[in-house]
Structures are given as C-alpha cells and as structure tokens.
Amino acid sequence: MSAYLLIISTQAPYHSSAAIDAFEAALAASNVGLQVKILLEDDGVYQCVESQQAESIFHKNTYKKLCSLPLYDIEDIYVDKASIDFRGLRITNDGKLSYSIINQDDVLLLKRASQQILVF
Amino acid sequence: MLIQVMCNKLDQVTAYIDDESIHFVLLQNGVYLLPRLLTLVSPHRIKVLDVDWRAAGLDAQFNDHPAINNKHVNYISHTQWVVLCAEHTPVMTLQ
C-alpha cells in the first residue's frame, strides 16, 4: 500500500471550525500531490448525515462538501461503525457520498498503515 | 434553574437530571445529545433550539423516536430562547 496522509475528523459539522479545518487540510494536502484518506470518527460521523439543513444557521452544508472531495482526487473516505452505532445513527452509503463504513479493527489498520495522521 | 447545553457530553449533564426543577436548553452541538438525554429526562424539561436541530439534520435520523416523532420535545426559536433565559435564574451554560 502506498504512503498516505490520514485525516481524522472527530467533531460535529458546525459550531466549531474543526470540521472545515479538516476539509481544508485535506484539499491542501491533495493539492500538493499527497495521497489523502479521510476517517470520520466520534462526533465526526454527524458530518455524513445527509439531511443537514445548514442554511438555517447560515453555513454551507458539510455533507455536500464531503460529496465534492472526489473532485479533488480524494476518494477514500471511511466512517467508523462504532461511532455510528454509539450515536444511534442510521447512516447508509446512498451513493451521493461514497464512503466505506469500517469496524474498529479496520480503523486500527488504517491508522497503522498511514504515513502521517492529522486529527481535527 | 436553566441549563444551556452546548456540547455533546452526557457526563456533564448527568449530575442535574434528578432535579425536576431544572430545565435544559440544547443548542449548538448540544442538540446531538437529545436522543440520549430523552432516555434520562422527561421531554417537558427539554427545549431544543430549532435552527440548530434542523442544521444537524437529525429529524430524519430519529423520526421513529417516540418523543421526537410526537413532538413532545419543545423546539424553540431564538426569541423563545432569550425569553427563557430572562425568566429563569440562574442560567448555567455547559460547553
């Protein structure tokens, strides 16, 4: 497996800059030629809730931003299954946002195989 | 007493759940706490800032939750939130 930068986003989409910081870091890294993979973990899994209505708080929709990542050559997006289950979410890969839901063992493998990890 | 919850941390709230006179307003990231808080606290003690709840997109996620689906939870506007803060003493914020 080739070297990659793993960006772990652990915060809910709005009310802090963490989610957007993770997104922009991913774009910047991809822009300079790094292979980037993104892991949504802990409260970060709320970012892939499709029914967000961010316009009600005058934000841009984080789900739609994630959908745009393949345009920047970032196609490996992973979501931690344990974080989804703990929060009682019903998140399925519906095709608009392409991601893989992975278990704890695979999360660990993803982290171990990465060259660098950035946590937001 | 009114507690404004702005974080998704149940452990910060649990110390206050047994006092029936305490009411909770969930806003910002505190709205994510609603499904779990409803397992511990009666819905009439919980208010949720409507715009933050809609921004989170959780209505569709929990539309089969009895309290959320039947609108037993009070979803409030910014104006109602300000009125609540003016009516209650003290107001505590958890973040």
Query: For chain B, what are the domain ranges?
Result: 2-94
State which amino acid sits at residue A85.
D
Query: Which residue from B8, B35, B59 is facing A12, i.e. has the nearest CB?
Result: B8
Query: Which residue from B29, B35, B50 is facing A88, i.e. has the nearest CB?
Result: B35
Q: What is the pLDDT of residues A54-82, one digit of tens each?
A: 898 989 999 999 999 999 999 999 999 99
Nearest Cα to A49, choosing from B13, B68, B54? B54
Q: Answer whether A49 sits within 8 Å of B58, measured CB to CB.
A: yes
pTM of this structure: 0.89
Beta strands in chain B (DSSP E): 2-5, 23-26, 46-49, 74-76, 91-94
Per-residue pLDDT for A36 more than 90? yes
Q: Answer whether A51 sits within 8 Å of B60, measured CB to CB.
A: yes
Q: What is the pLDDT of residues B8-51, one digit of tens each?
A: 999 999 999 999 999 999 999 999 999 999 989 999 999 999 99
3-state helix, strand, coil in chain B (%, to 5): 45, 20, 35
Is the domain B2-94 a CATH 3.30.465.10 member? no
Question: Would you tell me how many other CB atoms lie within 10 Å of the CB of residue A35?
Answer: 18
Structure token pair of residue B73: 């939870």
Q: What ipTM, to 2 d.p.?
A: 0.85
Nearest Cα to A45, choosing from B23, B68, B56, B71? B56
Q: Report the b/e string of B52-86 with b at 16+ CB within 10 A.
A: bbbbbbbeebbeebebbeeeebbbbeeeebeebee
Asked if A50 is an interface residue toward chain B (Cβ–Cβ < 8 A), one would say yes
To probe the interface with A, which of B58, B59, B69, B76 has the most A CB atoms within 10 Å? B58
Q: At A97, which helix (H) or strand (E)?
A: none
Q: Answer whether B61 sits within 8 Å of A49, measured CB to CB.
A: yes
Cβ neighbours of B8 in A, within 8 Å: 12, 43
Q: What is the pLDDT of residues A86-99, one digit of tens each?
A: 998 988 777 688 89
The answer to whether A87 touches A45, Cβ cutoff 8 Å, is yes
